[in-house]
Amino acid sequence: MHNQYEYVGQHLVMSSARELILEFFSGKSGVPKRDMIKKVETAHIERGGTPHTKKIHPVSDALDNLKNKGLADNPNTGFWDIKGQPGYKPDRKAVRRHRSQRRIKSQPGYKPDPVDRREYPTSDKIRKGSVYFYYFPTAKENAELKGENKWAFKIGCTEGNPQRRIDEQRTGMSEEPIKEAVIYTESPRHLEQIIHDSLKKQNMHIQDAPGTEWFLLSPDMVKKIKEAFEVFEKSLDFQSSTQ
C-alpha cells in the first residue's frame, strides 16, 4: 500500500484520477486514453483506493478538467498530450503516428467498409430518414472492466444524414461516438418511439442518464432490433412482392 496516498479507502473520483494522470503521464504525448484508464485504476487500487462507481469514468472527467485548464490536449480522438508543466511542447511525431487511419480515408482509391457504404440506402426506394444507435468508448470500456456485456446506447432519429446527426451531439464531449447501427425508414420518429416504448417495458431505459434516449443494451441486442424491424418492414412491402 502507498503510505502517503491521499485517497486510501476512497472511490476513484475525478480529483484522484487527475493527480494520477499528472504523476504518470506529465510531459508525454499521443497517450492512448485506454492506457491511462488502466494505469490510473491499477495504481489507485494498489495504493489502497477502491474502484469508481460513476457511469462516466473519472479519467474522462479528469482529462476534460485538465484540458479546460490548459494542462492537456487531445489533437487526435482517443489520444492525449499531457502537459502538466509550463513550457511543455508535445512530440508531434507521436501524435502523427495515430493519425494514419484518418489519412488513409483521404487517399485516392479509398473505399469505406460496408457499414460506411450504407450511410444512405442504395435501393430505388429511398428512405426519408433513419433511427441510429451509438455509444461512447468509455461506456464500453467500463462495462468490460466489470465483466459486463451491456452499456449505454443512444437511440435517436433523423430525417437527414445519421452520421452528421450523431456528430452534432458530440458537442462538449472529448470522445468520438461509435455508430453501432442504422435502420432506414420512411417514418423515423414513429419507429424511434416504438423502439423506445418496447425497451422501456423491458426496463432497459436508463432513467438517470442525461437525456431520455439512453438504454442499457449489448451489440447483439442492437443487431437483433435492427434485423427485426428490417424484416418486418420488408414483409409489408407488398409492391415489390407482387412484381
Question: Domain ranges in the chain?
Answer: 1-85, 114-241
The sheet with strand 72-76 has its strands ordered as 28-32, 79-82, 72-76
Phi (first) and psi of residue 167, to 5 degrees: -65, -35
Lowest pLDDT segment from 6-15, 16-25, 173-182: 173-182
Collapsed DSSP state (helix, strand, coil) of residue 202: coil
pTM higher than 0.85 for the full model?
no
Residue 1 CA to residue 149 CA, distance in Å, equals 32
Cβ atoms 37, 141 nearer than 8 A: yes
Question: Is the model's pLDDT at 112 over the cut of 80?
Answer: no
Give the residue-averaged pLDDT of 228-237. Answer: 75
Give the residue-averaged pLDDT of 44-69. Answer: 86
Residue 62 CA to residue 235 CA, distance in Å, equals 50
Amino acid identity at 233: E
- Where does the pLDDT of residue 3 fall: very low under 50, low under 70, confident under 90, or very high at 90 and above? low
User: Closest Cα partner for 133 from 75, 238, 216, 197?
Assistant: 216
| Inter-CA distances, 78 with 5, 7, 169, 178, Å | 28, 27, 17, 12
Phi (first) and psi of residue 133, to 5 degrees: -125, 130
User: Closest Cα partner for 27 from 98, 89, 79, 76?
Assistant: 89
Cβ atoms 59, 40 nearer than 8 A: yes
Looking at the DSSP bridge assignments, the partners of residue 153 are 215
Give the residue-averaged pLDDT of 119-136. Answer: 67
- Where does the pLDDT of residue 236 fall: very low under 50, low under 70, confident under 90, or very high at 90 and above? low
Give the residue-averaged pLDDT of 84-98. Answer: 47
* Residue-level pLDDT at 219: 94
Cβ atoms 12, 52 nearer than 8 A: yes
Mean of the per-residue pLDDT values of the chain: 78
Q: Which fold has domain 1-85?
A: Arc Repressor Mutant, subunit A (1.10.10)
The count of other CB atoms within 10 Å of the CB of residue 188 is 22
- Where does the pLDDT of residue 1 fall: very low under 50, low under 70, confident under 90, or very high at 90 and above? very low
Query: Regarding predicted confidence, which is higher, 76 or 200?
Result: 200
Phi (first) and psi of residue 161, to 5 degrees: -75, 120
Written as nine digits, the cell of 154 is 443512444
